[in-house]
Amino acid sequence: MKEENQILKQTIDEFCEKELDEKKIESTGITVKITELLASQGFLGAVIPGKYSGSELDNTSYQIILEETARYSPSVAMKIFVLNSLYYPSVEGTSEEYSLEAAASGKLNVAVDFINNSSELKENAGKLSGTLKNILGLNADKIVLFNGNTSIVNEPFKTNVRDFMGFRGIQFGDVELSHSAKLLDRNNRRSEIMEKAYGAVNAIALGMISEALKKAIDYTSVRKAFGNYLKDFEPISFRLSRFRATESVLRNALYSNVDPYYTFNVAMEAMVEIARYSVNTHGGYGYFQDFGVEKFYRDAIVMKSIFYGNEELKKLADHVYSEKINFV
């Protein structure tokens, strides 16, 4: 990693250590104050052009931001991701591009329906009606939809907040729509946008892996059982050492020219396995929020369910064979 990237990483770590109280974010959410701080650091507009108050950073710098913030708060990393990797490419080159300035400045909250694909909404004369389910970021002023095409709707929204296993720093639930939708693109660009976001997703996963693993190694270095430190038991030390090797390989792959398809698949599997084992090494304490490890397992499960499944594996197979496969 270049010296300027090392400096950026250290700067982000110092900011997160000082400003991101993980327990408070999990219980009260990402506040206006935190949003303003993220904007002032240039994190919210990481890859957004400078003309819209963005930082216009290169891909490596953006991924460093996601990785390091995910170590402290996966919810904060997800908020940065949604704006930069999903909302920005959705509105780029459209009449809504102007909204990027307010979003990068922390004055506009945005969301993207990247979980449900808006398939159950009814449309009549450009007006959408129905329940938009499973939205991450219910306090949004604008929501991008993929309902056969790519469109956007504006507040006010009637929302129903629901409890969510992961990313508890971000409001989750359903939105009742009876809104006129503005067309952004006649094509449904969800798959295209999501595929281009693989590197960013990998960065968040790597940050979660890194911190979950650190907590496991730290705990097993001080906790004793039967008169010995947990780290001295071979099954524990061998597995955690293997996980450290996996983390190192993933980091090298992420910040090199390795095909993101491959890194993405490995990262999704490793993220859940490592987060689960980190909880297990803590025993019963692993399920207490005070130890700060259970959130990585919850968020890992949610991340994998959102971004990874048979469709992604089919795309990987198509990619490997360089052609469309007729799966049986």
**Digit-coded pLDDT (tens) for 279-310:** 999 999 998 888 889 999 999 999 999 998 88
End-to-end, the C-alpha distance of the chain in Å comes to 43
Distance of CA 213 to the CA centre of its chain: 18
- Report pLDDT digits (tens) over 64-123: 999 999 999 999 999 999 999 999 999 999 999 999 999 999 999 999 999 877 767 888
Give me 186's structure tokens.
Answer: 């006649």
Domains for the chain: give ranges and CATH numbers: 3-104 (1.10.540.10), 110-188 (2.40.110.10), 197-321 (1.20.140.10)
Residues in Cβ contact with 194 at an 8 Å cutoff, skipping those fewer than 6 apart: 86, 114, 307
Average pLDDT, the chain: 93
Distance of CA 255 to the CA centre of its chain: 18
User: Higher-confidence residue: 313 or 160?
Assistant: 160
- Report pLDDT digits (tens) over 53-67: 999 999 999 999 999
* Per-residue confidence (pLDDT) for residue 201, from 0 to 100: 96
Report if pTM > 0.85: yes
Helical H segments across 73-111, by residue range: 74-81, 88-91, 99-104
Considering Cα of 182, then 183, then 188, then 190, what sign does the dihedral take?
negative
Exposed / middle / buried, residue 130 (Cβ in 10 Å: 0-12, 13-18, 19+): middle
How far apart are the C-alpha atoms of 74 and 55, rounded to whole Å? 21
| Residue 79 · residue 137 · CB < 8 Å | yes
